[in-house]
Chain A
Amino acid sequence: MGRVLRNPKLWLFAACLLPLARLVALGASGGLGANPIEFITRSTGTWTLVGLLVTLAVTPLRRLTGRAGLIRYRRMLGLFAFFYACLHFTTYIWLDQFFDLAGIGKDIVKRPFITVGFAAFVLLIPLAVTSNHRMMRRLGRRWQQLHRLIYPIALLGVIHYLWLVKKDVTQPLIFGAVLTLLLIMRLPWRLGALQTLWPFGAVKPAKAGRRRADDARKGRGVNAAGSFSRGQ
Chain B
Amino acid sequence: MPIHRSGDILPSEITPPGIYRERRRFMQGVGALAAGAALGVAPDARAGVRLAGVRRSAYVLNEEKTPYKAVTSYNNFYEFGTGKSDPAANAGGLKTRPWTVAVEGEVGRPGVYDIDTLLKLAPLEERVYRMRCVEGWSMVIPWVGFPLSELIRRVAPTGNAKYVEFVTLYDPSQMPGQLSRVLDWPYVEGLRLDEAMHPLTILAVGLYGEVLPNQNGAPIRLVVPWKYGFKSAKSIVRIRFVEKPPLTTWMRAAPQEYGFYSNVNPHVDHPRWSQAKERRIGDFFKRDTLMFNGYGPQVAQLYRGMDLQRFF
Contact = CB atoms under 8 A, between A and B. Distances in A.
* Interface bin, chain A: 20 to 34
B66 to A, nearest CB: 8
A113 B272 CA distance: 7
B70 A34 contact: yes
A37 interface: yes
Nearest to B69: A34
Interface string A18-38: 000000000000000111011
B13 interface: no
B286 A98 contact: yes
Contacts of B134: 166
Given A164-B272, A167-B82, A168-B182, A33 B73 contact: yes
B275 to A, nearest CB: 12
Contacts of B137: 35, 38
A33 B281 CA distance: 10
Interface in B267-309: 269, 272-274, 277, 279, 281-282, 284-286
Contacts of B284: 37, 95
Nearest to A168: B82
A34 B272 contact: no
A34 B273 contact: no
B279 A167 contact: no
A91 to B, nearest CB: 13
B135 interface: yes
B272 A111 contact: yes
A112 interface: yes
A189 interface: no
A163 interface: yes
A111 B271 CA distance: 8
A223 B78 CA distance: 45
Contacts of A98: 285-286
Contacts, number: 50
A163 B69 CA distance: 30
Contacts of A168: 78, 82, 180, 182
Chain B contact residues: over half helix, strand or loop, or mixed?
A: loop
A117 to B, nearest CB: 12
Given A98-B285, A166-B135, A33 B274 contact: no
B38 interface: no
A111 B275 CA distance: 12
Contacts of B272: 111-113, 163-164
B182 A37 contact: no
Given A98-B286, A167-B82, A167-B254, A35 B74 contact: yes
Interface in A79-103: 95-96, 98, 103
Given A167-B183, A167-B253, A34 B73 contact: yes
Q: Which of A38, A103, A112, A163 gathers the greatest number of chain B CB atoms within 10 Å?
A: A38
Interface string B43-72: 000000000000000000000000001100
A33 B286 contact: no
Interface string A101-115: 001001100111100
A106 B254 CA distance: 24
B95 interface: no
B84 interface: yes
Given A37-B284, A110-B274, 10 more contacts: A33-B85, A34-B281, A34-B282, A95-B284, A107-B274, A111-B274, A113-B272, A167-B82, A167-B182, A168-B82
Interface of A: 33-35, 37-38, 95-96, 98, 103, 106-107, 110-113, 163-164, 166-168
8 contacts: A34-B282, A35-B279, A37-B279, A37-B284, A98-B286, A111-B272, A111-B273, A167-B254
